[in-house]
Amino acid sequence: MSVPHSHQQLYPQQQSYPVPPVANPFAEQPVNPYAAPQQMGYYPHPLPPKPAPFAGLWREGGILVMHKLAPLPDICVKSNEPTMQRIARKLQWHHPLLALTIFIGLPVYIILAIVLTKRATIHLPLTEEWIARRQRRMIFAWAVGLLCLGLIVGGIALAVQLDDPNYLFLMLLGIVGGLTALIGGQAAVSMVTPKRMTDDYIWLKGVHPDFLDRLEPWPYRI
């Protein structure tokens, strides 16, 4: 008669293997705002490609080319120095040949300019020095403009009171000086000037050359 096997012989002890710890998905974990987004199953999405440091900005010779929605870095566009100060600039541009329609008629030019003018708003980074310089230019332009307005009013008043048309020269001088102050003042405080604009891109003059050297060349033909 055969001897029954022992319990250990019938049921040999299974060899144990180390079991890796399993994280509890319901346990509270510290939130990492820089972690990759999670999906069901707790597998992260692949990280999106990291954008270039100055995405949406290029250089074309001495011109800055930028997408209308591209943020400018915290670097002054006039001095190439770090800054946290910004000013908003509303830009407008239409093709220079459009001005020839004035000879057809001023209303024609005004209508075409309203329809064909490209517009954009950008926020220019400027150092405190350049912001102060811009403010001084604005004050000077306003002072010259008010002086020219005084020449216009004074020239008309003297010509009427003294019955001497020669004083109308002061009025003409005031008109010419006022227009000069208006155009020159606008150019002085604008900091940058649009050379060209499309529906998506802006070409800007007046940017510091060292700022442009940071950028890649403009690769497109549009």
User: Are 127 and 79 contacting, i.e. CB atoms less than 8 angstroms apart?
Assistant: yes
* Cα-Cα end-to-end distance for the chain: 100
Closest by alpha carbon to 138, among 178, 184, 207? Answer: 184
| Bridge pairing between strands 86-93 and 216-217 | unpaired
Give 85-100 pLDDT, tens digit per residue.
999 999 999 998 988 8
User: Are 117 and 92 contacting, i.e. CB atoms less than 8 angstroms apart?
Assistant: yes
pLDDT exceeds cutoff 70 at 40? no
Sequence-ordered strand ranges (E) for the chain = 38-39, 43-44, 57-60, 63-67, 86-93, 118-125, 193-197, 201-205, 216-217
pTM for the model: 0.66
The amino acid at residue 8 is: Q
pLDDT exceeds cutoff 50 at 215? yes
Residue 31 has a CB neighbour count (10 Å cut-off) of 6
Give 52-83 pLDDT, tens digit per residue.
557 899 999 999 999 999 999 999 999 999 99
- CA dist 19 and 216 (Å) reads 53
Cα dihedral value 42, 45, 46, 51, nearest 10: -130
User: Are 192 and 204 contacting, i.e. CB atoms less than 8 angstroms apart?
Assistant: yes
Predicted confidence at residue 54, as pLDDT, reads: 72
The dihedral built from the CA positions of residue 99, 101, 103 and 108, taken in this order, carries a sign that is negative
- CA dist 217 and 59 (Å) reads 5
**Could you state, in order of their start, the residue ranges of all structural domains in the chain?**
56-126+193-215, 127-190
- CA dist 216 and 64 (Å) reads 10
Average pLDDT, the chain: 79
Q: Which of 123-132, 139-148, 150-159 has the highest mean pLDDT?
A: 123-132
Beta bridge partners of 217: 59
Token pair, residue 95, equals 């093709």
